[in-house]
Each structure stands twice: as structure tokens, then as C-alpha cells.
Structure 1
């Protein structure tokens, strides 16, 4: 078959996928031809909505018709997988997926692949290193695949805004493919550095097809407010005027729930969405937005890559993402199938604090990494057991192990990890360069907020788009900036919502593994459910609390407004038995703050003031994981008073992070005679 006949066949598949009026773009055909005819590796960097998925579905149909094996698509999100399966069906391609949400279907999917009934198999990058999948399924797939697709390929590069360690395992997969198996990598958000990095990982002769990133439907604007209350009130007022349905992005899970609750109070049909939302609820929320049954999803970045709603009318950000590239990717969800879509950024003063927190989760320093490698050198360990030997939080420990796995220093096995014994180099220079790149991206985001030039051109230049020119549509180009005023009624309602005190503190229920020698194992029977005034990540009390607890803020007595709010928390506390006494934890940084809070609560509530717990040798240094923290507290924290009282004891502290300090303190108070312990803090980080 000649090139003309092959293209005609490709065009027929496109019409089945996208409608009778659809025609292949030149770069779409170039990519398809490279994959099907030349069996090459290709990287396609094109704007959202350009039709990258059409390339791999059409290439799959053509390759399968010529006897090739199934296509394996590595896809990062469940939402993306669901959309791709539906799109594949329209193209006459039978797709299936293996992911964490359909474990019960894995065996039948594997069998269908073996029988040749599956044209496309979608897998998550995390699945690539599941021991059973990696050792038994992946070799068969690699040997029989007709095409391998890496979707959202910017995740491969640690220079990218959304680097994921699991994606780096693809280098191993690509290296094990038989000669002549084509590979396609696709992304909408890769600057020149990320493009070079991904192309190098594909192979030196990879075809790179990069197009302009202009989105003619997007109308970008920035609206600044002098308080979170006015920002939220403005959003509630403006949402009525925005056409269609859309997405309201927030930077944290707490903010997503706070904003969604307020918008519902103001009469809007919205739902909160985050990575912590139950999978069934996430699916239902996505469908409600797709069906225009709700005005908006109030979401974290968990609703991002691959969510496909062509008529999405707006994207609003309550808080700025930490890079222009990440921002442009998220706003690219809007306006794919409508002539005009509103893109509005509502920056806040807390944005930089949240960026700093995410930056603190970077790759650990070399001594900590060596500590983990030395521990694994003695034999395989579960993640929980390794946590007792390495001072990292569970999340950072797992991220570090994934990187070490990709680097060949450790290997995931059933039940945990083992050392490979291979030499490993800590690339401090590269980690420092990546950290510097992240800082530069954050500064660029602040520049975007402040710029008086074209906003779309600014974003496209940060993606190294050579065709970037003024858009003529954004608020700066048109000189038409949105007014920041909000109705007095909405402002009052927002103030009441954001100043509503009280957040639950869930008690720890299980002691960390590996502490049996301390007599700590199994269920915890110490603290009852507690309360905090607010979350540090909230857009209401969070701003006030972050300022109070910031390292440079001097220690002092509890401010009057905060004490009044704490009293309201206590008044609304639905406890079984009213507390009869109050005790406080010793604070190395805020001793006067906590002592004054306990003393005033004792006076106002007529509670017995038991005093302050103590450290036998000074407070322990900061530990980052549960086992290390509990071990240190067990050896140093004491109760220097008699806690035998006829009712519950309020246990006061300035903030709760992991919850282990409150848990150990509560256990000690119970041992000293307290019948029940009710934790009370000013702030919580969760």
C-alpha cells in the first residue's frame, strides 16, 4: 500500500473518531507515518486540544490491521484513562486498563491481551514497578507490543513542573523493547529543556514535532484582592456571570473544601475534588461536570492532565500555581470546543508559603539517602520497617525509594525493598540545579501576576514557544481589567465562613511499627478526638495563624482575637463530659504563648491548671517520620505533676503536625491518672 492509500485509511479512522468534517493536520500525519511506516520514535509537543490522542489511536488501528501487537499506553491519571477508553471505542479500537481502581479485573484483562482481544492497554506509571506486573506481565507486553505510548511525557523529566519518579522507569521499558517497535511520547507542556531531556530519553534519532501553543479561545485575566474574604466573595458573585460550567482550582485540599462549602452556601451547585476524594465520588463528580449538572468542580491539581470537556467555559484559580508552565497546562482544560473561555487568576498572600512547603519535599540530602541504603544493605525491609531507621516522612521516603529504584540502587520486592548492591552516585549538582529551576519558576509566576504585557505571550514564552505574540484578548492587551469589588453581603458571608473557628483533630489510632521494645504496639488508647482553631493551609484563619507562628514573630501572650476564637471552639465542642482541668505541652519556640493560653482557659473555664509537661533533656530535634518521632518523645517527655482528676483534661499546644506529640503526651497523662485527654491546638497542618 502506498502513502496516499495509507493516509486515506488514516483519514477514515479520524472521521470515525472526530466526525465527518475532521481532517488530519500535517504534523498528525507526520507522526502517524513515522510510527506506522518507519517504526520510529517520536515526541509530539502540541497544545491541549490539538489531537495528540488521535495520533496514537489511528496509529494503533493501522498497526493492528497489519498484524502488530497491542499498543501499551502509559497514562498518569484515572480520569485520563477513562476518557481515552471512550475515545478509543469511537475509533474502533478496543481499549482496557490496569490501575489501582480495577484490581478485580486485572486477570481477565491479562487473559484478553493474551488472546489478542485488546488493541490498547492503558497502565499507570506506578504499575510498571509492581513486582508481579514488572516480573511477569511487563516482559510479555514489551516483547509483543506493537506500539508504546508515553502520555503526558513531561512527567519523565525532573526539569518538568510535574516530574514523577515512576515515569523514569520508562527508560528501562524502552530499552528492553525489541528492534522496530515504535514509540510515541506526547505532551502539551514542555519547554525547550524538558523537550530535549525527553527526546534524549527516547533516543537520539527521535522525531520531534513541536507546534505553536496559542489557544484562541482563552481570555486571561488577573484580579487581586486585599483579603481572602473579598477574594472569596468576588468569586461567589462572579460565578453567576461566567458562561457554562468550569473548574475552580485551589492549591490545597483544605482550600478546595473551604471554597466549595462557601460557594454552596451562596447558592452555587459545586463539588470539591482532590486526590483524597473517594474514587467513586471523584468519578461521579467528573461526570456531573461533564453533564453540566454542576456549575464547577472546586479542585486541586488532582483534576488536571487528561480531563476532557470540550465545552468547559472557565477556569478560575484561587491561589497561583508555582510555575507558569503548570498554570498554562491547567488553564488549557478550558475552551477546547467553545469560542470563548474565561481564565481568571486570584492570587493570595499565602501562595508563597504553600510553594515553600512543596519545595521542602525535594530529594533528601545525601546522609539521609546513605542511611537508607545502609539499612537495606543488611537485608530486605518493608517501608514501615525502614521508616524506623531513616528520618523521613512516609511520603518523602517512598519518593526517595522510587528514585533509587530507577537509578538501580534498590529494587522493589514483595513486601518492601532490597538493595541491589550497585554503586550509586548522589548527583548533588543536578538536584541543586533542579531546585534553582523551581525557584526561578516561582519568581516567573509572580512576574506573570505583575506583568502589564500580554499574559498569553508571557506564558507561551516560558514554554519556549517561538511563535509567541501578543494575543489581543487578555486583560492587559485589551486594557479591560475586571473590577475587584464584591457585594457587601457576600463579603460579610465570606468573613463569617472564613472566621468560623474549629477544625477536628483525628486521634492517632495505631502505634508505628517497630516499637515493640518500648511497649508500644497495636492500637493507641490515649487521646480523644480534638480541636484546632484552624488549618495553616486555610485561606481564613490560616493567614492569621501563619503570621503568628512564623519563625520571625516574637513570642508573647495569646492575642485577644485568637483567644476569643478558641473560646468559641470550646463552646461549640460537643464533648461527652466537660473538661475539669487543663495542661500544656512545653514549647521551645512559643512558651509564653502556650502558657498564657492554658492560664486564661483555666481562669475563664474554671478549670484546674495542672501545669506544663516537661522534657528531661530538652526538646527532641525535629523528626520527620512517625517511628523516629515517637521513639524520641518516649525517651524525653514526662508529666511532672499528678493528673488524677475527676474528668477530662484539655491538653494545649500551639500546632499539630503529625499528631504524635499530642498522642504520646496524652498517653502519659492517662498513665498519670487522667481519665480522658482532649487535645486543643491553635493550628493544624493537615
Structure 2
């Protein structure tokens, strides 16, 4: 380009004075591999096998399952099998990753089938892991199938196999337990004929578990519906005593005794370490310089999608074979990435928690964290991916200064509030008929992701139910348990403090003992391998070259912001109309804004740090408001210079801000001055227009903004006279509805195009 954006900004512009943080909740449920061909069910055998006969038969299945003629049970494995098969007990198994919990339930399921029982029902969120387990199950003659949200086209075939009694193990995702069709058509038969119920990753049942999921709480009622004598197995590798007690209480509903088998959780193969490098670019520089030195292939975990994608891009540019793996990764691409890591075709996957419990690579050589998870238990679970079938694996944590604010964001969005619960129940009661999610969203001021979570919580607590056509109230009494949620929130804060304590651990304390101690493991024997038991085993230096390259990668600016193209459903219900007609469907092309730009996302590395500081509040909780800092001013001009628009803008207009008026005006004024553009001023705020709510869904956001702004007559005349596109300036982009509605007004006033520009976006 050859225009003013290539020049240095004028002196007065140069001299300006100085978490959701992740994606939508992850969809971890993926289709299983094709089921093997049906075979005849073995003739029923008597359950009353002798202990020696049962042990011999179980060992034979284990050796088929592992493909090793010399395989033997780990301590406790046969005891769990015997409790389930010989005594039909309810068992809770808490054992470290790699101990062989899946072998217990596969062997028990097949032994039950041979005794004439029905198929085992396994509730699990780990369908990615099941792809690996199916192949092993086939070797032992276990016929496995799955019913989940990702393989709907296979359901009819699986139903026929169930009718023919040719399924030994049926996996279901926890979400199926609240699906009306599944509950009505499949679940009663499965419950009536089940030979075994397995609850995998059972810590998800508990409010206190590090990965609590509302759908899992349905299992309590599922247990109550089982016929007498059906054995139940719950398994997990990450449960402290509080979680163990909670899960055992749920398993023992009805007065049943629970057989609890708990082993040592220490992992002899893991070599733990913490390296605090301070700044983000030093962490990236260390990783860029030393990734190749880590053993084998592994995982680099990041706390946010943006961090994972940016880190993967930086490492790839530096010549490392890596792939990103996040909640934004297409399901097909996830499979490709998983396979590439398993075949050691990449050095690492750079991932969020989307690559969690469901991934199995026994020879994984290392796990590195750029930023810490919010609890030692969650950290233990993630690092447990490494070293399952190797003598040694390296685990390194590179904590970040931004970790606590990310933890806080996730924590504050995880639990429902009474006001939101009351709003949902009130809307459903008032309607008197089922409401779809979209229809309910138009009636309550709650964002889609939070609304889905809240409905799940209310469903498992019996206040609402999913039916054909949407959601309805059940009529059952329901009281918001404020005390319980306060206790959970306090527990989460304690977990965060414990994670910080782990980071700051020093000799003679042992990192492995600290982690397993958080899981209430009584074994306090030091590991003798971590960086506090010995000396740091990892390199600590960062070269000047790596630092420069990392800083350059973080200095990237300019994130595209896609324009809104569709109005949200339900605007007619909240009184939004245009020219006497309801507003619905696609936004008229002539009233749309163009693709916009921000310097960076608040979740980004690099400029994300400065932007988070800029949009922080003071100690009293009030927004800070100042002119644009010089470094961000320069970054903004770089964004404009590299934009590549078809037609250069002719004027600058800004959206008036309630919280940061000085910031927005200085940004607009500086841009106009630097680009020699007409500064047309701010849009007007309609008299008496109330400020829009901060936390709101799309329907209510549009409603609140629809009449809020107007284009002054003098501004409209200048827009028509100039005839070209205008830059529309804002400070922070969240839902994009403010820019969409303000831009529509400017297009209707005659603007040849509207180019939105803001300092940052939420995500």
C-alpha cells in the first residue's frame, strides 16, 4: 500500500502515555471404530465357579486381551474381578493411570456373559480411548459397541445386535442418560438385562471431582433402577478421600456395602519439574529451543485455545513437527492428530484439555504445561498420560503469571446462580409446553453455553426434563442449594492455592508426594527423581536468538473479526422490529459490516498481556480509563497498515463508551490523525436509553442495543458526501452485536462500507 498508514504517526499520536478464556465446553464424544462381526454367545456357565477356576479363566482372558502369554494380574485386579463376578458386589477402584482398570471391567463383562448375564453397560466420557480399547477387546472375544451423540447412523445396527444378544459391552456417553429418546427406547431394556454396570472416570459423579459433569449425576438414579444382584464397578485414577466418600455413598444407595480398592498413586516412571521463567516469551523461547531435547514424542498443554494455536504456529515456524489440538479442532482433524502422535510422526500435540482423559499412548515420552491447571489433581490426571509403558518420562511445568486470572474466569462461569435458575424455571412454567433451547434463550437473559449447563444441572436435580420438542418443568419442588455451591467455590479456591504451593515447592519436599498427597495417598516415600529430590534435570538457559524469535512471534498483530450474518431467533418476542416488520433471518447484505480487526484477543499470548492490563479494573472494581498506551497505538497502526482492504476508508466514527470514554476517543482521534481521515465523532446515544446488561445472550443483547444509538443528521450528511467506507472504532469486542447494529445504522445512513476496528476481543 502507498498511503499514510506506511508513514510514521504524527508526534502527538506517538507520545500517547503508557476468562470465557476457553472455548465452549469440549465435545469429547467421538464415534467408535466399526464393531466386529457378530458371533454366537457362548453357552451359559454357572456363576458358582471355584476361586481357582475363576482365577484361571480370568487370567486366560487377560492374556488374550493383552496379547501376551506371560501377562499376570497387577495387585488388586483379580480381587476386583472376583468381587464383581463371584459375589456381585459394588466396587470402587481407585488406581493410578496404567494400572489396568479397563481390563477389570472387560474381563468381568465377559465372565458375566459366559455365565448367561446380559451385556455390560459402561458409562464413560472417553470414547476416544474406546477406539483403542475395541481392538484389544476383540482379541479377548469381547464384542463392544457404543451409543453416543457422534454415531447416530450406527444406532439402528446396534439396536439389532442388542435384540440378537450379540453385544457383550455397550458404551454410552453420560449425555445419553438425559436424552429423551434414549431413555424411553433403550435404557429400560439395558437396565433390565444388564450383567454389569461400569462408571468409568467416576470422579465425574462428584461435585468435588476435578472434572465434575452434571450428566454424570444421572447415574445415581440409574443405580437405583438396576435389578438386585447386578454388580457395579466405578473406576478412577484421580479421587481424593472426599471424592471417594462421595462416590461410595452414591454407589451404596439402598444400603449396599461398597468394596473399595485403592492402590498407590505414585508413578515411578515420571520425572517431575517446575521451571518458572516469568514472561510468556521466555517460556516460548525455552520451548522453541529445547523441545527437540525432550524424550520421544509428547504433549504440550496450554490453558486456552488461543495459546495452543499460537504456540503451535510458533513451534512449526521454528521447524518443529507439531499440531494444534483444541476445542476448535475439527473432529476429523483430531483423529488425524491423535494418530500422528501415536505413530510418532509429530514431536508433540500442542493441546488444551480437549486432549484429556480419552487419549492413550503408552509410550508418551513427555508432558509440558505452558501455564498450570487450576488444581494438583487435574495436573496429576494430565501428566498421567506420560510414561505408562516406559521406564522414564519427563514432566515439566512452566507456570505463567496469567494463570490465576484464567482460573478465576473458569471458576466464576462453572456454577449456576439462583437468579438464572429462577429465570429458566419461570420461563418454562409460564409457557406450559416444551421449549427448545433457542426458544428458551429468547426468554431468559443467559448465554447459550451457560444455559445448556444450567439445564443439565436442573435436570439431574429433577426440576426440569428434556422431552420431545425441548425442555419442560417437572413440577417437583426445587430449592437452590446456595450452601453447597459456596462450599464448592471455596474448595476450588483451595485447589488453586495448592497448585501455587506445588509450583513453589523446594527441597527436601518431593513433587510426586505432594501430588499424590492431594489425592490423599498415604504413601509418603520420596520419588528420588523430581527436581526437588535431586537437582533440576532440565535445561534452564534460553538463548538470545530464541528469545528474539519468541518475542517476534508474540508481536504479531491483527486478528480478523467475522461479521454477523444472521439475526438471533426470537427477536420478535422481545419487541425488536424494523420498518414495522419483525427482524429475523439473514442480515440484509447492504446493512452488514465488513470483516473487522482487533490487535489481539484477550486470551492471546504477546499483546494479550498488555490488553488484559488495559481492560483491568482498579481496586474498587471500577474500569480503568486512560488514553491508548503508545505500544498499543503503534500496534493498532500496524493492523491498519496490513489490513489489505479493497477500498481505503475515508472517515472515522466511534461508539461511545460508558466505561472507557477517554480510551475510545483517543483511539479514534489518533487513527484519524495518523491516517489523515475525517473524524466524524461518536454516534449519539438515544435519550433515556438504558445501558445494555453486561452478561446477556444474543436476543437480549440485540434488544438492548436496537434503539440505543442514532446517527446525527450532520454526520449522516457528511457520510453521504464522502461516499466511501468508514472505520467504526470500539474498545473491546465480545458478542459483535454492538458493531453489527451500529454498523447497520451507518450503512442505512449512506456509508459505502463499515470496517470495525477495536483494541481487543474477548476470545
The alpha carbon displacement at 1:621 in A equals 2.8
Secondary structure of 1:465's aligned partner: coil
Secondary structure of 1:442's aligned partner: helix
Separation (CA, whole Å) in 2 of partners of 1:49 and 1:307 = 12
User: Are 1:524 and 2:587 matched, yes or no?
Assistant: yes
The structure 1 residue matched to 2:751, chosen from 671, 674, 679, is 674
The structure 2 residue matched to 1:619, chosen from 691, 707, 716, is 691
Secondary structure of 1:477's aligned partner: coil
Which deviations, in whole Å up to 9, do the C-alpha atoms of 1:31-72 show, x marking residues without a partner?
A: 111111111111100000000000000001111111111111
Which deviations, in whole Å up to 9, do the C-alpha atoms of 1:418-462 show, x marking residues without a partner?
A: 011111011000000000000110111111101112111111110
Q: Which residue of 2 aligns with 1:358?
A: 410
The structure 1 residue matched to 2:324, chosen from 259, 272, 289, is 272
Q: Which residue of 2 aligns with 1:634?
A: 706
Separation (CA, whole Å) in 2 of partners of 1:270 and 1:481 = 24
The structure 2 residue matched to 1:472, chosen from 528, 531, 538, is 528
The structure 2 residue matched to 1:241, chosen from 293, 297, 302, is 293
The alpha carbon displacement at 1:367 in A equals 2.2
Q: Which residue of 2 aligns with 1:493?
A: 549
The structure 2 residue matched to 1:339, chosen from 373, 391, 412, is 391
The alpha carbon displacement at 1:618 in A equals 4.8
- Runs of 5+ unmatched residues, structure 1: none
Separation (CA, whole Å) in 1 of partners of 2:685 and 2:93 = 59
Contact 1:256 1:272 in 2 (8 A): yes
User: Which of the pair has more CA radius of gyration?
Assistant: 2
Q: Which residue of 1 aligns with 2:35?
A: none
Separation (CA, whole Å) in 2 of partners of 1:233 and 1:243 = 18
Secondary structure of 2:182's aligned partner: helix
Which runs of structure 2 are paired with 1:510-589 in the superposition (5 Å)?
A: 510-516=566-572, 517-519=575-577, 520-525=583-588, 526-552=592-618, 554-589=624-659
User: Are 1:103 and 2:152 matched, yes or no?
Assistant: yes
Contact 1:224 1:484 in 2 (8 A): no
User: Are 1:399 and 2:465 matched, yes or no?
Assistant: no
Q: Which residue of 2 aligns with 1:9?
A: 57
Separation (CA, whole Å) in 1 of partners of 2:490 and 2:684 = 41
User: Are 1:131 and 2:180 matched, yes or no?
Assistant: yes
Secondary structure of 1:468's aligned partner: coil
Q: Which residue of 1 aligns with 2:119?
A: 70
How many residues are matched?
686
User: Are 1:435 and 2:489 matched, yes or no?
Assistant: yes
Q: Which residue of 1 aligns with 2:214?
A: 165
Q: Which residue of 2 aligns with 1:662?
A: 739
Between 74-83 and 130-139, report the one with greater CA deviation: 74-83
Contact 2:64 2:139 in 1 (8 A): yes
Q: Which residue of 1 aligns with 2:660?
A: 590
Contact 1:75 1:81 in 2 (8 A): no
- Runs of 5+ unmatched residues, structure 2: 1-48, 578-582
Q: Which residue of 1 aligns with 2:232?
A: 183
The alpha carbon displacement at 1:275 in A equals 2.1
Separation (CA, whole Å) in 1 of partners of 2:624 and 2:248 = 52
Separation (CA, whole Å) in 1 of partners of 2:226 and 2:360 = 31
Separation (CA, whole Å) in 2 of partners of 1:390 and 1:87 = 48
Contact 2:693 2:701 in 1 (8 A): no
Separation (CA, whole Å) in 2 of partners of 1:89 and 1:34 = 24
TM-score computed with the length of structure 2 as normaliser:
0.88
The alpha carbon displacement at 1:657 in A equals 1.2
Separation (CA, whole Å) in 2 of partners of 1:393 and 1:480 = 46
Between 410-419 and 253-262, report the one with greater CA deviation: 410-419
The alpha carbon displacement at 1:228 in A equals 0.9
Contact 2:120 2:169 in 1 (8 A): yes
Separation (CA, whole Å) in 2 of partners of 1:296 and 1:449 = 23
Secondary structure of 1:240's aligned partner: helix
Contact 1:382 1:416 in 2 (8 A): yes
Contact 2:462 2:474 in 1 (8 A): yes
User: Are 1:367 and 2:419 matched, yes or no?
Assistant: yes
Which deviations, in whole Å up to 9, do the C-alpha atoms of 1:215-253 show, x marking residues without a partner?
A: 001000011113111110101111111110000001111
Q: Which residue of 1 aligns with 2:17?
A: none
The alpha carbon displacement at 1:539 in A equals 1.8
Which runs of structure 2 are paired with 1:449-468 in the superposition (5 Å)?
A: 449-452=503-506, 453-468=509-524
Between 553-562 and 185-194, report the one with greater CA deviation: 553-562
Cα-Cα RMSD: 1.3
Secondary structure of 2:233's aligned partner: strand
Separation (CA, whole Å) in 1 of partners of 2:197 and 2:153 = 25
Separation (CA, whole Å) in 2 of partners of 1:483 and 1:54 = 39
Separation (CA, whole Å) in 1 of partners of 2:248 and 2:752 = 64
Separation (CA, whole Å) in 2 of partners of 1:624 and 1:685 = 14
The alpha carbon displacement at 1:678 in A equals 1.2
Q: Which residue of 1 aligns with 2:248?
A: 199
Separation (CA, whole Å) in 2 of partners of 1:415 and 1:524 = 27
Separation (CA, whole Å) in 1 of partners of 2:726 and 2:126 = 46
Between 510-519 and 396-405, report the one with greater CA deviation: 510-519
The alpha carbon displacement at 1:587 in A equals 1.2
The alpha carbon displacement at 1:483 in A equals 4.2
Contact 2:723 2:750 in 1 (8 A): no
Contact 1:83 1:306 in 2 (8 A): no
The alpha carbon displacement at 1:524 in A equals 2.3
